[in-house]
Amino acid sequence: MIHVTLPDGSKREYPEGVLLYDVAKSISPGLARTALGAVVNGETRGLQEALAKDSDVRFVHFEDKEGKAIFWHTSAHIMALAVQRLYPDVKFAIGPAIDDGFYYDFDTEHRFTPEDLTAIEQEMKKIVKEGHELVRTEMKREDAIAHFTPLNEVYKVDLIERLPEGTTISFYTLGEFIDLCKGPHLKDISKVKAVKLLSIAGAYWHGDENNKMLQRIYGTTFEKAKDLEAYLHRIEEAKRRDHRKIGREMDLFSMQEEGPGFPFFHPKGMIIRNKLEEYWREEHTKAGYGEIKTPMILNEELWHQSGHWDHYKENMYFTEIDEAAYAIKPMNCPGSILIYKNGMYSYRDFPMRWAELGLVHRHELSGALHGLMRVRAFTQDDAHLFMTPAMIKDEIKGIIRLCDKVYKTFGFEYHMELSTRPENSMGTKEQWDLATNQLREALEELGANYQLNEGDGAFYGPKIDFHLADAIGRTWQCGTIQLDFQMPERFDMYYVDDQSHRVRPVMVHRTVLGSIERFMGILIEQFAGKFPLWIAPEQVRLIPVTERHTDYAASVQEELANAGLRVHLDRRNEKVGYKIRSAQMEKVPYMLVIGDKEMENHSFTVRHFLTDESGVNRQYEWTLEELTTNLQEEIDSKRYYL
């Protein structure tokens, strides 16, 4: 017999080899009916899998990230079977679950079209109704190669050949489709009620542009049609908010062929960027940080010493100066360490908090580039803190409070994830356990809600990541706190303690915004370009009705500018309606249409860019003094509208 421990701490006894489905059924028929799988001793498993030993078991549903992964991984297999039926010459690459669904990469002479997606959807629905179950089998590596080679499944053979000799490999069969796959999968595919294939893209095999370009089909599925409809609505809303589209319309930034992945910021975009950096500096000054600046290019040997060479060189750029090898920094931490080593410190100097807006460069594949969200050059709002072990928890709490304040300024909700030791880590288990426990205790003492993300820490230490939820429910990883016992060891860093001994400091790496570029992209989409007044590139647009109103409008412009407002006078020889629509398209927060009445009364009907339920712009009757007072109060309070 084996014992199963459930999330509430209760234990149940079952015969060895019991199926997870039968465990769920013994707890509740309803649980067996609705569960999609289970997390067993930290590993996600399918309901059709057996338990061979005492286990901690948590059943998962579609609402859980593990449940979604099972659901969408199975859906990728359903799509693959549908494609195999419709296009028999196809060769299969990989088909994983992703954040919002799944994809599969195919090699076929047929070029997929949007019309093909509709046919594949219909075949998927037919397969679901056929009531297949995914059957798991295992083969030795050599047998698997012998099985797939005659079928000309070159991609499966390539994957198998990369595994060590003697490896036992699992496969899943769905109808007439068999796939090399670790699983897990749904026991009952009839749960896949709503299907939508979304797009077609190209993808290089293994992400290597020297390999063949495959065709990738993206899709998503849900248990209920209404959930699919809600998701598709969010997709349309996301398109409307696309920062690349809004960036063009508002003339904020551009990407040029001469510098792929290297953003060009236009004057209006620089206003937003500069206001963000001003705010960043204000909050860091209040929190006791000093600002530093380190070089962008440093000797290659430094990156060997830091460990980045072993873990990150594929993402780095290199150059040569005076016949010596140099690297363009992908991270700011070694520069901060060199400043630390330039001085001598005692425990009385701690904690030391150094912040840097550091420009870094990282090589990204061209297919991964995406506006400001994924670039090859970006400015990290980095900081490195140095402290004694006794200070760790208080400093971590201070960083969390700073992040909380910044995120709330922009209306973001967020959750935190604690990531633990990865496979390719530096340092001992004891060091990692100590560091991880310090982060966990800081979170728990703050009463913070967090999720555990096993094995996803940085190579030098565990971390806390902040995942922001935007106005339409998408999440973005921005801030991070990384505890590091390794760099001080590698760079022989020390301070003098209260016993006059030389000891290693503790180092913390952290960001709040993550990168200025990416955070700007997130803000554009969060507000759909309707920025809070304090960071809006243009705060007021003046629209004279005719040319004879222009001189008066110019005097209003001068007065508002003297009050510190960013104001533009539209002098174009166009109709008023055209100018109003132009201001709305450019998402200017406030508009003043100036005609005879305004000249006579020195009072204005001020239009706000937000509209009421009937679609009419909010309007206020203000004098010039009231306008400047009200707008200044809005700027000072950093009010936002979602």
- CATH T-level assignment (fold) for domain 253-527: BirA Bifunctional Protein; domain 2 (3.30.930)
Q: What percent of the chain has pLDDT over 70?
A: 100
Q: Helix 154-161 to helix 141-148 angle, to the nearest 10 degrees?
A: 160
60 vs 68: CA distance, rounded Å: 9
In sequence order, what DSSP letters do the residues of 123-169 get, joined into one string?
HHHHHHHHT---EEEEEEHHHHHHHHTTTT-HHHHHHHHTSPTT-EE
Residue type, 78: I
pLDDT of 614 > 80? The answer is: no
For residues 605 and 617, the answer to whether their CB atoms sit within 8 Å is no
Torsion of CA 206, 209, 211, 217, to 10 degrees: 60
Query: Residue 576, SS3?
Result: helix
Question: Residue 213: pLDDT band by 50, 70, 90 thresholds?
Answer: very high
How many Cβ atoms sit within 10 Å of the Cβ of residue 141?
A: 17
- CATH T-level assignment (fold) for domain 66-240: Threonyl-tRNA Synthetase; Chain A, domain 2 (3.30.980)
Question: Which DSSP letter does residue 552 get?
Answer: H
CA atoms within 13 A on the CB side of 632: 11
Residue type, 79: M
Instruction: Give the tokens for residue 267.
Output: 């004057």
Which residue in the block uniquely carries the two structure tokens 């969390």?
A: 400
When pLDDT is averaged across residues 382-397 and rounded to a whole number, the result is 94
Residue 550 CB burial class (10 angstroms; 0-12, 13-18, ≥19): middle
Question: Residue 54: pLDDT band by 50, 70, 90 thresholds?
Answer: very high
pLDDT of 539 > 90? The answer is: yes
The phi, psi pair for 527, rounded to 5°, reads: -100, 0
In sequence order, what DSSP letters do the residues of 245-279 get, joined into one string?
HHHHHTT-EE--TTSTT--EE-HHHHHHHHHHHHH
Query: Residue 175, SS3?
Result: coil
How are beta strands 177-180 and 502-503 bridged, if at all? Answer: unpaired
pLDDT at 402: 97
For residues 35 and 60, the answer to whether their CB atoms sit within 8 Å is yes
Query: Residue 214, SS3?
Result: strand
The phi, psi pair for 420, rounded to 5°, reads: -105, -170
pLDDT of 454 > 90? The answer is: no
316 vs 329: CA distance, rounded Å: 7
2-61 falls under which CATH superfamily? Beta-grasp domain (3.10.20.30)
Question: Which DSSP letter does residue 455 get?
Answer: T
In sequence order, what DSSP letters do the residues of 391-417 get, joined into one string?
GHHHHHHHHHHHHHHHHHHTT-EEEEE
- Encode pLDDT of 545-586 as tens digits: 999 999 999 999 999 999 999 999 999 999 999 999 999 999
For residues 66 and 87, the answer to whether their CB atoms sit within 8 Å is no
Instruction: Give the tokens for residue 396.
Output: 């971590």
pLDDT at 153: 86
Instruction: Give the tokens for residue 268.
Output: 């209006």
| Domain boundaries along the sequence of the chain | 2-61, 66-240, 253-527, 540-637
Question: Which DSSP letter does residue 189 get?
Answer: G
412 vs 275: CA distance, rounded Å: 18
In sequence order, what DSSP letters do the residues of 60-109 get, joined into one string?
E-TTSHHHHHHHHHHHHHHHHHHHHHH-TT-EE----EETTEEEEEEE-S
Q: Which residues pair with 299 in a beta bridge?
A: 326
* pTM recorded for the entire structure: 0.81
Give me the active site residues, please.
Answer: 333, 362, 380, 382, 384, 463, 509
Of the listed ranges 85-94, 219-228, 417-426, 578-587, the one predicted with least confidence: 417-426
Q: List CB contacts of 373: < 8 A, sequence separation 6 or more.
A: 243, 518, 521, 522
- CATH T-level assignment (fold) for domain 540-637: Rossmann fold (3.40.50)
